[in-house]
């Protein structure tokens, strides 16, 4: 559970410089929107300032690789399976909902996938084929793959956060919804 000293809504820190200068609680709140592990967020916030985006992303990767099983459980609990855009056909919604339900029933957490590098028209196929392929994994192997996908998502969200995009949030549709 997240601490009560962290604001519920992540602030807009205003690029890397703003992130570096933000108070610890604001920085942690923004980081929790990228990856919901409080240990991950606290670690990255505590090591500020970062000289550039590459250093920040390297710190995020290192913190991701050091997450314990309970840290991963905390982060996975806040993830939601990628869904479809409101205009998607009902048949696609039904197929995706069934695939997500089967995955979550088998592995105990939402299906996590980073869709960076794929066009929005490819997202549905990527998610459905990803679920289909990963359903064959044993639980330990799948947890490792999901943790890596979570790390990739956190990197993308973090890069977006400090890229001075005030009109959008860290859980942008490109990362959450098809």
Average pLDDT by stretches of 10, the chain with 178 residues: 37 76 94 96 97 96 96 94 78 91 95 91 91 96 97 95 60 39
Return the structure tokens found at 55. 């250093």
Return the structure tokens found at 100. 């997500």
pTM: 0.82
Beta strands (DSSP E) in the chain are none
Number of H helices, E strands in the chain: 9, 0
**CATH class for the domain made up of 80-150:** mainly alpha
Contacts of residues 117-126 at CB distance under 8 Å and 24 or more positions apart, as own/partner, are 120/85, 120/174, 120/178, 123/82, 123/178, 124/84, 124/88, 124/92, 124/96, 124/178
For residue 108, what pLDDT is reported? Answer: 94
Give the 3-state secondary structure of residue 84: coil
Q: How far apart are CA 153 and CA 147, in angstroms?
A: 10
For residue 83, what pLDDT is reported? Answer: 73
For residue 2, what pLDDT is reported? Answer: 33
For residue 141, what pLDDT is reported? Answer: 97
Return the structure tokens found at 37. 């592990």
For residue 164, what pLDDT is reported? Answer: 65
């Amino acid at each position: 559970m997240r601490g009560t000293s962290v604001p519920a809504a992540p602030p807009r820190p205003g690029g890397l410089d703003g992130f570096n200068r933000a108070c610890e609680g604001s920085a942690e709140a923004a980081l929790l929107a990228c990856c919901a592990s409080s240990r991950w967020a606290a670690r990255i916030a505590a090591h500020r300032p970062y000289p550039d985006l590459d250093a920040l992303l390297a710190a995020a990767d290192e913190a991701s690789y050091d997450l314990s099983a309970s840290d991963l459980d905390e982060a996975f609990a806040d993830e939601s399976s990628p869904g479809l855009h409101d205009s998607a056909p009902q048949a696609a919604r039904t197929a995706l909902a069934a695939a997500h339900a089967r995955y979550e029933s088998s592995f105990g957490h939402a299906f996590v996938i980073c869709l960076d590098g794929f066009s929005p028209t490819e997202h549905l196929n990527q998610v459905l084929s990803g679920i289909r392929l990963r359903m064959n994994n044993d639980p330990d192997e799948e947890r490792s793959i999901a943790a890596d996908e979570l790390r990739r998502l956190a990197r993308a969200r973090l890069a977006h956060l400090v890229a001075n995009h005030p009109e959008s949030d860290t859980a942008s549709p490109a990362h959450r919804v098809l």
